[in-house]
Amino acid sequence: MKKNITKILLIIAVITVCIGAKVYADYVMNASEVEYTKSDSSKVSVKAALDDLYTKSQKLNEMYVDLYELDSYLDELDTLELSKTAVGLTYTESQSVTIINPNSLEITVESSDSTVATVTKNSNTQVTINALSKEGSAVIKVKATVDNITFVAKKIGVGVWSGSGTMSVATAKNIIIPENISVFQGTEVSYSPIGGGTWRIFYCDKTGKYGDGEGTLYIKRDYNSSTTMSDSSYGTYYTKSSNPSEVLADMRKINPQWSAVDGTIDARNENVASYLCYHGAWTSYLDSSIAEYAIGSPSVEMYIDAWNQYKGSKLLDYKLVASGATLYASNGTASAGANGYAYAPAYVSTSITDFNYKSAVHSLITDANSMFMTSGKFWWLASPSCYNR
């Protein structure tokens, strides 16, 4: 009998959800108190179960309406644009940010750390950020009100420092966060390992994607013509390594997409990339009092993540492609020579090219003190290339 009542309950429940309030009301008016036993041995009446089901179905309807309204609110918020989404300030310096606000939304602003930077609303189209005499970071929240509902519409990252001399790595780590790094990328920092070189702020890992924890800061050495390598010299690097487990671990760490899809070092291009990834090969560039490790180059993934971070949106994308896959390069179609990475403008998903071709829509050469490219030169990246180079 209990099994039959359960079946009846399921049938009535489906009818209640599908037909709506009238069926439910008619049932409640004529229902008898029939009990059934649930899987946890508790007892509940069919009427009580339907009461609960009906309430939930109404909430789902309300939620659908709310989400629909939220979508229209987002359209309103998308009309807001900021002249700057990140600012770097020296002590007591101020900077104004213009807000493009075509729908005349009501704006409020607040600072996440008013001991580092305060913010003043001048109007619904302009705010002023004021740095105090304290090193650190803050996030300015720009809130907009639509139909008496207030949303955090935009954020402005702020980094404040003394501005005296070359920035120390300690200062960089203290003031740089993912929200403000774009204004600091390419800034020189005082880092002097045995291997020498000029070092600059490169990337801040917001999520810990590369295995070093959320908010980890990476610096990169400037291009130096004396530091060269031949891929033919390292085509069997991992194969002949005395520390294969460490080499493989470093390769996987800096190339998470490759690690998830392939993750084994056997091809020549993977051997070469493993040399660039292995921290044990680059100890002359490590000052262990400041940094945790040094490697030969950023991976394709980190390079493009850093570029997108600098530009403030996802303009370039990367993809691990299989050997023989058809690629769409700037000089026509081609086939991948090996399992490896290719990149493309993010908005053209089928257009894939390699790093030997400058993107048709971006110039990487002069941005951020040539942080991303040196004119007339080619850089090695610590990832296997689909072109087997």
Q: What is the pLDDT of residues 255-298, one digit of tens each?
A: 999 999 999 999 999 999 999 999 999 999 999 999 999 999 99
Which of 7-16, 317-326, 378-387 has the least mean pLDDT?
Answer: 7-16
Does 225 share its domain with 322?
Answer: yes
- Are 204 and 177 in contact by the 8 Å Cβ rule? The answer is yes
Mean per-residue pLDDT for 321-334? Answer: 77
- Give the Cα separation of 250 and 243 in Å (integer): 11
Report the SS3 class of residue 326. Answer: strand
Domain count for the chain, please give it: 3
pLDDT for res 39: 65
Question: Does residue 177 form part of some domain?
Answer: no
pLDDT for res 328: 72
- Are 321 and 315 in contact by the 8 Å Cβ rule? The answer is no
Mean pLDDT of the chain: 83
Which of 34-48, 188-202, 290-304, 375-389 has the least mean pLDDT?
Answer: 34-48
Burial 89-99 (b: 16+ CB within 10 A, else e): beeeeebebeb
Which helix H or strand E contains 311, and what residues bound it? helix 300-311
Does 110 share its domain with 246?
Answer: no
Closest among 211, 186, 238, 367 to 301, alpha carbons compared: 211
Does 201 share its domain with 299?
Answer: yes
Domain region containing 211:
185-389
Question: Does residue 176 form part of some domain?
Answer: no
pLDDT tens digits for range 328-382 = 766 677 788 888 888 877 766 566 665 444 454 456 777 899 888 887 788 889 9
Question: Does residue 6 form part of some domain?
Answer: yes
- Give the Cα separation of 318 and 351 in Å (integer): 11
Which residue, 22, 48, 77, sits at the end of a domain?
77
Does 246 share its domain with 362?
Answer: yes
Does 344 share its domain with 324?
Answer: yes
Main-chain phi, psi angles of 252, to 5 degrees: -70, -40
Does 28 share its domain with 40?
Answer: yes
Could you give the C-alpha distances from 16 to 10, 53, 60, 132, in angstroms and in order? 10, 8, 14, 62
- Give the Cα separation of 142 and 111 in Å (integer): 9
- Give the Cα separation of 254 and 298 in Å (integer): 8
Which residue, 15, 48, 77, sits at the end of a domain?
77
Does 270 share its domain with 376?
Answer: yes
- Give the Cα separation of 213 and 351 in Å (integer): 33
Does 251 share its domain with 386?
Answer: yes
Does 15 share its domain with 86?
Answer: no
pLDDT for res 18: 45
Where is mean pLDDT largest: 43-57, 144-158, 190-204? 190-204
Does 86 share its domain with 127?
Answer: yes
Which residue, 135, 164, 193, sits at the end of a domain?
164
Global pTM value: 0.78
Question: Does residue 318 form part of some domain?
Answer: yes
